[in-house]
Amino acid sequence: MKRFLHNHYFHSLVLFSSILLLGFAIRDPYFTTILVFAGLNALSALGLSLLMGLAGQISLGQNGFYGLGAYISAILSLNLQIPVPLAVLMSAVLSSSLSVFLAIPALRLKGHYLAVATLGFGEIVYLLLNEWGPGGPSGFGNIPKFTMGDIALENPLSYLILVWAIFSAFFTLAQNLAQSSYGKTLQALHSSEIALRTLGVNILSLKVKIFILGSFLTSLSGALYAHFVTFLSPASFSVFYSVLLLMMVMLGGINTLWGAPVGALFITFLPETLRPFKEYDILIYGLILTASLIFLRKGIIHFLKQGIRK
């Protein structure tokens, strides 16, 4: 029994059911919508957490994959009439395949250089969406809603189930990976690339693969975003999104994959709780973020664990 309660399959299930319970209990469309966004952010952040937390490879270009995922899926379903679930999948695969072209040159770099190279990629995608995207800077709408067969996911509650089910599934897989020897190898990449090479590991291939996985998750999240809001403009895909993901991962806790959902829920809900402060909300938002990064340096998860131990 104890073994059952202490494994990550069960934990993912608990997370999934708690979110659904919350959604069904509060039954407020606005609140549910925020929960959907939190789920999308969690999925994007999971990609970054695998990349940064586990493998130690920083990326500030996740906004590029989020944007590509969203635009490709929207265009596939809108212009080519491809069924939405298929378009979402195709878009995530296509967008993350494109990541290979970024990964192979960029991952030869390390640390700050890698950060700048990925930043450049995100910025290029952002500019391309502005120049060549449908509607240019003002964007385009009428993107089909998500339908599975006859069931249309019209209301936020049904989308909540979809997004968090997908997140929970990938969350479980990601934890599988982290616990496996493959995950330990990624962690080793973090501490000594040279030693890994002398053991016969092709580190470039290792990095490229985790980069593809990370960008797949962020692209998938972007695609799901497109069919939820049904309107896209480049503004949602600026570098600010990458910075937001970075904050989620750092604030949640970079040493654990749980940092992604916890950080995403925190950062997504924070501006909402600050509404009563009216024009001062951005100021307080900034202060809280700064304070959290100073006082919760190891992340919320670490802080909570310490609290439980005491």
Partner 1 sequence: MTALLEARDVFKSFGGHEVLKGVNLKVQKGTIHALIGPNGAGKTTLLNILNGLESPSRGKVYFNGNDITNLPTEKRAKLGIARTFQLLEVFSGLTVLENVTVALYAKSPWGMFKSLTLGKLFNSQERGLEKRAEKFLEELGLIHRSKEEAQNLPAGEQKLLEIARALAIEPEILLLDEPAAGLNNRETKVLGETLKNLCEKNGITILLVEHDMDLVMKISHRITVLNFGEVLAEGTPLEIQKNPDVIKAYLGEES
Chain residues that interact with partner 1, rule: CB under 8 A? 7, 173-177, 179-185, 187-188, 190-192, 194-203, 209-210, 213
| Separation between Cα atoms, residue 233 and residue 253, nearest integer Å | 31
| Dihedral pair phi/psi, residue 174, rounded to 5° | -65, -35
E-assigned strands of 134-220?
147-148, 151-152
Our CB check for partner 1 shows the closer of 9 and 24 to be 9
CB of 257 to partner 1, least distance (A): 12
Residue 297 gets the label, from left (phi > 0), alpha (psi -120 to 50) or beta, of alpha
For residue 95, give both structure tokens. Answer: 């967008």
Q: Pick between residue 82 and residue 103 the one whose CB is nearest to partner 1.
A: 103
Phi, psi of 152 (to 5 degrees): -100, 130
- Smallest gap from residue 174 Cβ to partner 1 (A): 8
Q: C-beta of 58: minimal distance to partner 1 in Å?
A: 17
CA-CA-CA-CA torsion for 295, 301, 304, 308, nearest 10 degrees? -140
Minimal distance, residue 178 CB to partner 1, in Å = 9
In the complex with partner 1, the residue whose CB is nearer, 54 or 82, is 54
Report the residue number, 4 or 132, with the smaller CB distance to partner 1: 4
Nearer to partner 1, 3 or 309 (CB): 3
Report the C-alpha gap between 41 and 39 in whole angstroms: 5
CB of 172 to partner 1, least distance (A): 8
Distance in Å, CB of 255 to partner 1, minimum: 8
d(CA 122, CA 141): 23
Q: Which is nearer to partner 1, 98 or 213 (CB)?
A: 213
Q: Say which residues have a Cβ less than 8 Å from residue 24's Cβ, sequence separation at least 6.
A: 157
